[in-house]
């Protein structure tokens, strides 16, 4: 599973939808066109792209805290909480994250589960100081005893930084990691995933550029994401692996606003159980059950 923070299906708009403004090879080469609200579901017969509801019948804009809890744990978190909430987990959902996530479910299965992201020393200093404002995935791992990777895991090819290429770690955090291409990151992730029953990688810069926090890096990050996703979908072993690329809410598909959107989140499936999952998932609460059912 590759989780993309804040990517939805938006209007066919060459000004405010960057997928139409800049083009996106992942969509155009694999599906023949870019998805829009006028044409939300695409397939080439082996790969499936489709909309996934993130509003879950709750007023307001979907948020990461409740959205990711819903996605990974298979329940309607905003309805449970009484509102959309984020970016961090809502307090009453934390016991559910500890026991009910996909990572936890597959942890005890043959092959286990693996969270492929790595964290810099500054992050471990942060949690060792006693501060606890953490993302859903990070908190889930800490609560349930799933190991968090470090810089040495990146050096050894066993993890990825959250921005794929390692450049930001080098420039902002003083590391001297080898800079890799997005396609190299894809191949590394596919190799890692071949060793485990369930592997999760989280990419958050899609949400950041959707909020225009990194406006000066937009085109570079957007292009890197495209290369990463295309390589994953193009090179994944369809006979041995199921690939699920999914999101928690809309954002990047409409840069006319700096907020999240109520557009459907985007999902792409490929590989062994791609069709079955595509036919089973209509909203973000349904990923867990579909993956457990078809990826035994």
Contacts by 257-263, CB closer than 8 A, 24 or more apart: 258/211, 258/212, 259/61, 259/211, 260/6, 260/61, 260/62, 260/63, 260/210, 261/8, 261/10, 261/61, 262/54, 262/55, 262/61, 262/62, 263/8, 263/9, 263/10, 263/37
Rounded to an integer, the average pLDDT of 28-39 is: 98
Look at residue 214 in the predicted model and tell me its pLDDT: 80
pLDDT at 293: 97
Q: How far is CA 5 from CA 80, 129, 203, 207, 209, in A?
A: 21, 27, 6, 5, 10
Average pLDDT estimate for 55-63: 98
Least confident of 9-13, 205-209, 242-246: 205-209
Residue 35 scores a pLDDT above 80: yes
> What average pLDDT does range 264-282 have in this prediction?
98
pTM: 0.97
Give me the percent of the chain exceeding a pLDDT of 70.
100
At 234, phi and psi to the nearest 5?
Answer: -80, -30
Model pLDDT for residues 96-143, shown as the tens digit of each residue: 999 999 999 999 888 899 999 999 999 999 998 987 789 999 999 999
pLDDT tens-digit series, residues 216-231: 899 999 999 999 999 9
Strand partners, 115: 200
């Amino acid at each position: 599973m590759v989780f993309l923070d804040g990517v939805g299906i938006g209007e066919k708009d060459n000004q405010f939808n960057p997928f139409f403004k800049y083009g996106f090879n992942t969509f155009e080469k694999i599906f023949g066109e870019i998805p829009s609200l006028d044409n939300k579901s695409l397939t080439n017969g082996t790969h499936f792209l489709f909309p996934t509801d993130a509003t879950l019948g709750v007023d307001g804009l979907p948020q990461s805290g409740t959205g990711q809890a819903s996605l990974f744990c298979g329940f309607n978190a905003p309805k449970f909480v009484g509102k959309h909430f984020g970016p961090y987990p809502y307090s009453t959902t934390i016991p559910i994250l500890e026991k009910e996530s996909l990572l936890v479910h597959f942890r005890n299965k043959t092959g286990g589960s693996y969270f492929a992201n790595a964290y810099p020393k500054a992050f471990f200093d942060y949690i060792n100081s006693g501060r606890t404002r953490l993302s859903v995935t990070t908190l889930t791992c800490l609560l349930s005893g799933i190991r968090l990777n470090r810089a040495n895991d990146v050096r050894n090819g066993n993890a990825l930084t959250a921005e794929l290429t390692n450049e930001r770690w080098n420039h902002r955090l003083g590391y001297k990691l080898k800079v890799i291409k997005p396609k190299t990151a894809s191949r590394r992730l596919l190799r890692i995933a071949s060793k485990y029953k369930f592997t999760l990688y989280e990419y958050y810069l899609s949400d950041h550029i959707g909020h225009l926090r990194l406006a000066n890096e937009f085109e570079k990050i957007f292009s890197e994401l495209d290369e990463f996703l295309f390589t994953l979908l193009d090179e994944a072993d369809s006979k041995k692996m199921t690939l699920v690329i999914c999101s928690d809410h809309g954002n990047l598909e409409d840069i006319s606003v700096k907020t999240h959107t109520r557009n459907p989140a985007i999902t792409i499936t490929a590989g062994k159980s791609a069709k079955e999952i595509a036919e089973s998932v209509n909203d973000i609460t349904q990923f867990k059950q579909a993956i457990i059912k078809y990826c035994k």
